[in-house]
């Protein structure tokens, strides 16, 4: 058993599609418990999109202050945090990233992790049978500079 503050053998954690929102507080509570108990043992936490049910922009970070504070505390414990946008939170920007102490990743991202090449993706672009979704994904979610999304609608 590790002593307080000591990390277990090298490993990273991957999560996606939590869809955190005020209407499902149990999910948020479980996630916060995960951040305080399990995540500090990892070298890195990769959040691969749809972290929030929706994100309308970084204008009002206060509504997610508890989550931001918990992520910042995890980062302060030397667990690196990486965030990839999903189709529901593609407007998360640099303000959120800075406040939470995390690094934004493009989708897809190819990296070498523990000697292996790993391709990370949120995966919504792989839903090729969803012909109704693909045009809007190309226009809004996947478009370069999607932070200007609101100016295009």
Q: What contacts 61, CB < 8 A, 6 or more positions away?
A: 68, 95, 96, 99
CATH classification of the domain holding 26: 3.60.21
Is residue 92 domain-resident?
yes
In the prediction, which pLDDT does 133 show? 46
Is residue 130 domain-resident?
yes
**pLDDT-derived band at 147, boundaries 50, 70, 90:** very low
Percent of the chain with pLDDT over 90: 64
Percent of the chain with pLDDT over 70: 76
- Tell if the pTM clears 0.85, that is, is over it: no
The Cα 96–Cα 153 span in angstroms is 23
Is residue 136 domain-resident?
yes
Is residue 6 domain-resident?
no
In the prediction, which pLDDT does 55 show? 87
Domain count, the chain: 1
Is residue 75 domain-resident?
yes
pLDDT in tens, 71-111: 999 999 999 999 999 988 889 999 999 999 999 999 999 99
Is residue 47 domain-resident?
yes
pLDDT in tens, 1-28: 444 556 678 899 999 999 999 999 999 9
What is the torsional sign of CA 96, 97, 101, 105? positive
Mean pLDDT for 58-63 is 91
The Cα 133–Cα 62 span in angstroms is 31
Q: What contacts 152, CB < 8 A, 6 or more positions away?
A: 139, 140, 143
Q: Mean pLDDT score of the chain, rounded to an integer?
A: 84
User: What are the CA-CA distances from residue 23 to residues 27, 53, 87, 102 (Å)?
Assistant: 9, 10, 19, 25
Q: Is the pLDDT of residue 125 over 70?
A: no
Sheet-wide strand order for 103-105: 12-15, 44-48, 80-84, 103-105
First-last CA distance in the chain? 54
Helical axes 65-76 vs 25-37, angle rounded to 10°: 10
Is residue 1 domain-resident?
no
Domain membership of residue 107 as a residue range: 12-152
Is residue 5 domain-resident?
no
Mean pLDDT for 124-135 is 57
Q: Is the pLDDT of residue 130 over 90?
A: no
């Amino acid at each position: 058993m590790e002593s307080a503050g000591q990390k277990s053998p090298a490993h990273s954690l991957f999560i996606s599609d939590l869809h955190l929102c005020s209407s499902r507080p149990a999910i948020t509570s479980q996630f916060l418990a995960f951040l305080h108990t399990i995540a500090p043992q990892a070298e890195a936490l990769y959040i691969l999109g749809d972290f929030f049910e929706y994100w309308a922009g970084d204008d009002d970070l206060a509504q997610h202050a508890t989550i931001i504070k918990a992520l910042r505390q995890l980062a302060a414990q030397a667990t690196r945090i990486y965030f990839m946008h999903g189709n529901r939170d593609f407007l998360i920007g640099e303000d959120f990233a800075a406040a939470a102490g995390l690094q934004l990743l493009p989708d897809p991202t190819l990296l070498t992790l523990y000697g292996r090449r790993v391709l990370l993706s949120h995966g919504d672009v792989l839903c090729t049978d969803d012909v109704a979704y693909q045009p809007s994904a190309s226009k809004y979610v996947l478009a370069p500079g999607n932070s200007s999304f609101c100016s295009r609608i």
